[in-house]
Each structure stands twice: as C-alpha cells, then as structure tokens.
Amino acid sequence: MILSEIQQFITEHKRASLADLKIHFRKDGDTLRSMLDRLIRKGRINKMPEAKKCGGCHSCSDDATEIYVWVDADKSSPAAESASSNCH
C-alpha cells in the first residue's frame, strides 16, 4: 500500500472514515493513521474534529466516526459535515 493510494481514495470519495479505510486497504488502524498523519502534515487531508455519532444508537465504532476529508485547494476549508456516514 502506497501513500498515494490512500490519497487517491480520499480524493475520489471526498471523505472517508478510518473504518472505511481499514476495510478497503485491509490494514490496521495504527498503520493507516501513520500514513494519514503524513497526508495531514502535507496539507492534503484534514481529520474532522470530534465527529458526532448519530442520535444515541451506541452502535457506531470509534473507527466509524474518525473521519478524514480531502482538502480542496480551491476552497479555504474541507467539508464541514462531521457525522459518520456509517451510522445506522
């Protein structure tokens, strides 16, 4: 797995949870986080602050609410939506 593959995935989807990335790349969270941190330092992605879970279902894992978004160079900030797309 290459850093550019993660970047491409997030670019195409505009946002991705850690859970999505773990499933797609078949890697553990710590491995992915270290690569995501490099993309954050390069200014290519942002980690959403304290993603909110849906209204109290308690079935969303922390990985599902840890969300990374693509930084659009044409805009000053990434998408503001922070709720998990995986919540049921």
Contact by Cβ (8 Å): 83, 57: no
pLDDT at 87: 47
Query: Whose CA is closest to 69, among 53, 56, 84?
Result: 84
Task: Give CA separation, 49 vs 8, 25, 65, in Å.
Answer: 22, 23, 10
Mean pLDDT for the chain? 82
Q: Is the pTM of this model over 0.75?
A: no
Q: Of the candidates 28, 40, 88, which has an alpha carbon nearest to the alpha carbon of residue 68?
A: 40
pLDDT at 18 (0 to 100)? 96
Tens digits of per-residue pLDDT, 8-31?
999 999 999 999 999 999 999 999
> Which residues have a Cβ under 8 Å from the Cβ of 20 and sit 6 or more positions away?
13, 86
The sign one gets for the Cα dihedral 17, 20, 25, 29 is positive
Q: Give the per-residue pLDDT at 38.
A: 97
The pLDDT value given to residue 84:
45
**Count of residues in the chain:** 88
Q: Going from the N-terminus, what domains does the chain have, and what CATH number goes with each?
A: 3-70 (1.10.10)
Give the tens place of pLDDT for each residue, 31-49.
999 999 999 999 999 999 8
3-class state of residue 44 by DSSP: coil
